[in-house]
Structure 1
Amino acid sequence: MKKSKLTILGGGSTYTLGILMSLIEESNHLPLSEITLYDTDISRQEKIGKAANILLKEHYPSLEKFEYTSNQSTAFKDADIIFVQIRTGGLLMRELDEQIPIQHGLVGQETCGGGGMSYGLRSIPDMLQLVEAIRSINKEAWILNYTNPAAIVGLALDKVFPDDNRLLNICDMPIAIMKSYADILDEDVWNLEADYFGLNHFGWFTKIQNKYGHDYTSELKHLIQNNDFKPTDKLIANDPSWQSTFKQAKQMVQDFEEYLPNTYLQYYLYPNQLSQKESANNTRARQVINGREKEVFNDCDTIIKQNNTENIDISGDIHGVYMIRIAASLVHHLKERFIIITRNEGIIPNLPSDALVEVPALLGRNGAEPFKVGEISTFYKGLLENQYAYEKLVLEAYFENDYNKLLQALVLNRTVIDTNKAKNVLSDLFEANKEYWPNLN
């Protein structure tokens, strides 16, 4: 099997070492000759990069070259695959994204509602510049983008690069949920296939079966409704916030039993309940800053000091493996089935054709071949049309420098709705993002 060259954008991320461990564990699916990390935060990436170099020398002896850089030409020139996950403004801006809506009695979440809008408007210019830079250097690389909020970022990329079929927007949440389904069923998650439809972070599983055709859907609903439903992927299994999220997903299955929901739907279906659970002094961003971020960089310090990874727990997770198997299917033309984000164009005929829908697709050398979903019923159509209208207005507000469209977007969003709250939270988000947002009129 031909070896590939991989670049990871956002090399200073706390997820990088886990992704590298996933690459090691999945090297039979995606053998690599070179790995390059790229980040504009040089000091942050340097610590990750030094630890990564030790990790890879120990556990990936067949890898021919590893480097970390802030030079775009070095990072992009010969890459076959480019993973993209950036966080414009870092975790401190994420904390404001979450705090400000909470202070107004709203859901404070990095991809949903006011926080998601804030993060999206910051992310769009950096993502557009990055893809433009990649394509000016490398026309053929597969760009796999999983930068949040994927719905807004994906729409911007689709608008500016509509014909780039080697640019895919992907989210790992469906596979993380399927990992819990697999463990409930005592199945291998890679032996399960899902029928799924929606927008990013806003969708439903309509069928779960194994590759031999056994339909588990009814059994899953019964098990979830009558037992504890917990996250089981190692990245989130012990996280109290994710445990609470999966508990709320059980409530969604009990209230709306037709389909199995994406966990993010909790913010849209129970916004008042969710907003009351949150504290501006203990946001998810703050928990990450005080938790995973400290742990990862402490681990890096230890690895660098002792010049080995002994007694350091680094392991792959479903997030990394999903990206790797998608890349393998594209590069090696495996035509395997994954849930990805793509332009609708009739996949769901009674939704706008320009919406970016999240659906199963076969992935091979020609890109994504999505499966048709067909028309959806009134409840789901209404929810999705409302959410897409919000996403589209955010995008139009950015490209047209239009304040009114941004206000309209927030009023439409199910986590906000109230016009006065929308105006007040928008005012505070403007102030917090004055270094990042465009000047809206």
Structure 2
Amino acid sequence: MIITIVGGGSTFTPGIVKSIALRQKELEVEEVRLFDIDEDRQYKVSLVVDWILKDMKSPIRLTVTTDKRTAYENSSFIFAQMRVGKYAMREKDEKIPLRHGCVGQETCGCGGLAYGLRTLFPMIQVIDDVEKYAAPDHWILNYSNPAAVVSEACRALRPHARIINICDMPIAILEMVGRCLDIPNFTDFDVNYFGLNHFGWFTDITYQGRDLKAEITEYVMKNKTLLPPDVLEKLKEHDRVGERHLNASWIHTWNNVYKVLQSNPEYLPNTYLQYYLLSKDVVEESNPEYTRANEVMDSREKDLFEGIDHYIKTGEVTAKAFYHGAHGNYIADLAMALKNDTKKKFIVIVQNNGAIENIAPDAMVEVPAYIGKNGPEVICQGPIDDYYKGLMEQQLASEKLLVAGGIEGSYEKVWKAFSMNKTVPSATVAKAILDEMIEANKEFWPELR
């Protein structure tokens, strides 16, 4: 049993490997392979991974490679978490739109579309390489962002690939709900949810007969935030708490849940809806000179690589050297459900085919599914109201146009994708952003004619 992590140099890799090691017996995993095109970065991250496995006295063997065949041969699970262009390009994704008065964000708006064009073909290359070398019954579990664009590209170009696209944001929201309501067992919540990736709504959240959606809605309306009481207390003295989802930009995000709920209290929104429904507010709250990319580079990136340097010098791994939590647990639990046919419920990105009754069958939607050895068994969510349908179809059209434009090398279709995005006020602004993005992404994008 072999698990390969694509993007082995990611700051998330140590946490994911720890999640795998904690489930070693259930997964029966014998070897973890790290694969990255950045050999130096991956080597440094692998030092922490090696320390984790030894510290846990895990029998898992670690392989670190930049060779595709070595990475994929006979692998059963491939965890993909590529960041094409790294944080240098993420910074441009965020800052270029802000210069034009539009949302600057990693996966949403023009920044997300730009990132999608960079990731589209590298993801297809991973699928082809895995198909060539991995075990015939392999599964690719993909965290690579922007998941909505990546999943549409996979549907269009490799419709039969054994890939499940996922996002940890829904589980991160449920974790925050649990903290707000003082219920630690957030992974046991029963939920219903519909939407697109980073563009969806929780319609039901229950736990042991309790209607948590009603409780959390009341909590948010009272406290004007989805931040839990312990964090609110800490924030009276400090402007950040030091957790992954609690840096300055995330504090704005959790507070904006209140604003979104004010206008539509029917369902609990995915936090990323702020970028579409509150785009003016988000731009006004943003610092165009210091975005989320800079936050991450100054926190998670800095902590990990400073921790690695400290480990090399002293042999000690500091507590904040790596992040472990819902991100790693979610993907490892999904692998466990596939391997052991548990039929556990997860929120995943799948081709619609009636899951949302009045949305196009070829749409890549994010909905709950029971996960077993044959993949997702989708739980249909029925028809949705015009408000949600209209929002989703506009966003879906933007993403589909982008993928089609990337595949065909069509400037016109990519421009239309930027123009249709709800974060952009006009076609002329879309063109100005696109033209600047083309220059910034010369090394990564397909040629647009």
TM-score, with normalisation over the residues of structure 1? 0.95
- Cα distance in 1 for partners of 2:243, 2:163 equals 26
Contact 1:29 1:325 in 2 (8 A): no
Give the unaligned 5+ runs of structure 2.
232-240
* Structure 2 counterpart of 1:66: 62
Aligned residue runs from structure 1 range 4-403, under 5 A: 4-27=1-24, 29-63=26-60, 65-138=61-134, 139-164=136-161, 166-187=162-183, 188-210=185-207, 212-227=208-223, 228-230=225-227, 235-309=243-317, 314=322, 316-403=324-411
For residues 148 and 317 of structure 1, what CA distance do their matches in structure 2 show?
A: 19
SS class of match (2:116): helix
Distance of 1:11 and 1:408 partners within structure 2: 35
Provide the secondary structure at the position in 2 that maps to 1:32: coil
- 1:234/1:317 contact within 8 Å kept: no
- Deviation of 1:14 after TM superposition, in Å, equals 1.0
Per-residue deviation, residues 229-248 of structure 1 (Å, max 9, x unmatched): 22789842431111110100
Structure 1 regions of 5+ residues with no counterpart? none
CA distance in 2, matches of 1:382, 1:315: 38
Runs of 4+ aligned structure 1 residues displaced above 6 Å come to 231-234
Deviation at 1:280, TM superposition (A): 2.3
In structure 2, give the amino acid aligned to 1:299: G
Secondary structure at the counterpart of residue 342 of structure 1: strand
Deviation at 1:213, TM superposition (A): 3.9
Percent identical? 40
AA aligned to 1:15 is F
1:392 is displaced (CA, Å) by 0.6
Q: Deviations over 1:127-168 (max 9, x none)?
A: 11111111111232110001000000111011122123x310
Deviation at 1:23, TM superposition (A): 2.5
Amino acid at match of 1:222: E
CA distance in 1, matches of 2:447, 2:437: 13
**Compared with structure 1, are the counterparts of its residues 106 and 311 closer, same or farther at alpha carbon in structure 2 (3 Å cutoff)?**
closer
Aligned Cα root-mean-square deviation (Å):
1.7
Q: Structure 1 pair 312/261, CA: closer, same or farther in 2 (3 Å)? A: closer
Which TM-score applies when normalising by structure 2? Answer: 0.93
Give the AA of the match of 2:21.
Answer: I
Q: Separation in 2 of the partners of 1:314 and 1:27?
A: 20
> What CA deviation, in whole Å up to 9, does each residue of 1:331-367 have, x standing for no partner?
1111100000000011112111100000000001000
Counterparts of 1:168 and 1:248, CA distance in 2: 30
Q: Number of aligned pairs?
A: 435
Match of 2:442 in 1: 434
CA contact (8 A) 1:24 1:60 kept: no
Q: Would the aligned equivalents of 1:337 and 1:363 in 2 still touch at CA under 8 Å?
A: yes
CA distance in 2, matches of 1:435, 1:314: 30
Provide closer, same or farther for how the CA distance between residues 53 and 172 of structure 1 changes in structure 2, counting only shifts above 3 A: same
